[in-house]
A = this chain, B = another copy of it.
Amino acid sequence: MLCGRGLLAVLRRRRGDGVSGGIRRILRHEKGNGERAVLTRNDRTKIAILRAIHELVSPAGASKVGERLEAMGISLHQRTIRYYLMQLDNEGLTRLVSRRRGRELTERGAEEASQVDAVDKIGIVSAKIDAAVYRMSYSLTTGAGKVIINRSLIDPADIRRALDEMRTVFANAYAVASRLSVAKPGEQMGSERVPDGSLAIGTICSVTLNGIFQKEGIPVRSRFGGLLEIRDRRPTRFVEMIEYRGSTLDPLETFIRADMTSVREVVRRGNGIICASFREIPAVALEHARQVERAMRARGISGVMAMGRPNQPLFDVPVSEGYAGVVVMGGLNPIAALREAGIPATVHSLADIVAFDSLLPVNEVLRRWPLPE
């Protein structure tokens, strides 16, 4: 209390600006005193770079490192990265292999890099997305390969009702593709066994689209997952959003678990809230992306809802300079509908990687579990 006012002043001027000589001296003194060395922002950047190299298979140049960093949510220009790499070289943490191949970590560098902190341990979604994209292999040319799926578990007794609900969502193209897979208790779906007493439903995850674009050479940034308001069957605006970078949970999964959607209303009356994801692609790649999108559509993958124009906001959401916005359907929309219908379901997004062929068109699935009359 007594120091209230004084301290207030100190805090406000924490940065030194306008602080009178006396206090400044005290601050300096404290600083130079007992405290041990502390990471400066600069050091943190360097550590991030070390980690990036660590994750890549050694020798790497600034551009590769840059891509990793970007994925980690740190934007630095290549020149800047080289600037730090030079410093790291001097500190003996990295070493220039050759002018063509770039740098590798020294032993000490590898050591530094493997210190992880909590946030990394828990894992930000964007990192999981990157990992999944890296592992998938679906190719537009062949129409085959592995795709990323979400897995949901329901009670086997509910399957017919569930399919009935999902069918309408697929029919209105509020999902990534009209395909799904259903696995019975004990069967295998992807790398996991379906637990007893449950049916597993696999739906294509919208992150698969990132992978497809990626394969065509178009890098995609996942910005945020959101709830998109639909009016008269047209997307209108985002009503809620959570950044992928700032979350350890998939936002869309969270929205669905919190029962915040109204996909059924959208299907029935054309008004309501669905899950959608906002992404960005480089403006230069826009034309190419449109072609890819057409090709996807021809393959029955219709998850791209809208593509914006260079540097122009899309649904009022501003995009980064040099990029264009892309809005894609949430792969979990069918599952959302099912929960809205009161059918209990646990949701797990980005769950696994499976062959595209193992997912069947809704109609075929319906043939196996015909709807009650």
Residues of A within 8 A of B (CB): 1-5, 7-18, 23, 26-27, 30, 35, 38-41, 44-45, 62-63, 66-67, 70, 73-75, 77-79, 117-119, 121-122, 216-219, 221, 223-224, 237-243, 245-249, 254, 257-260, 280, 282-285, 288, 291, 310-311, 313, 315-318, 320-323
Contact = CB atoms under 8 A, between A and B. Distances in A.
B77 A7 contact: no
A248 B225 CA distance: 11
Contact of A291 (B1, B17, B38): B1
A77 B313 contact: no
Contact of A117 (B249, B283, B317): B317
B18 A78 contact: yes
State the 9 A-B residue pairs at the shortest beta-carbon distance, nearest first.
Answer: A246-B246, A243-B246, A8-B217, A118-B316, A13-B322, A11-B320, A257-B258, A17-B78, A258-B258
Contact of A311 (B1, B35, B74, B78): B35
Contacts of A283: 30
A243 B18 contact: no
Given A77-B14, A78-B18, A41 B2 contact: yes
A248 B257 contact: no
A221 B121 contact: no
A23 B118 CA distance: 40
Main secondary structure of the interface of A (DSSP, over half): mixed
18 contacts: A1-B74, A4-B217, A11-B218, A12-B75, A12-B77, A13-B323, A14-B77, A38-B321, A117-B313, A119-B241, A119-B318, A224-B246, A241-B247, A242-B248, A243-B243, A243-B247, A254-B258, A257-B258
Most B C-beta atoms less than 10 A away, residue of A74, A77, A223: A77
A8 B318 contact: yes
Contacts of A14: 66, 70, 75, 77-78, 282, 284, 322
A223 B5 CA distance: 13
A308 to B, nearest CB: 12
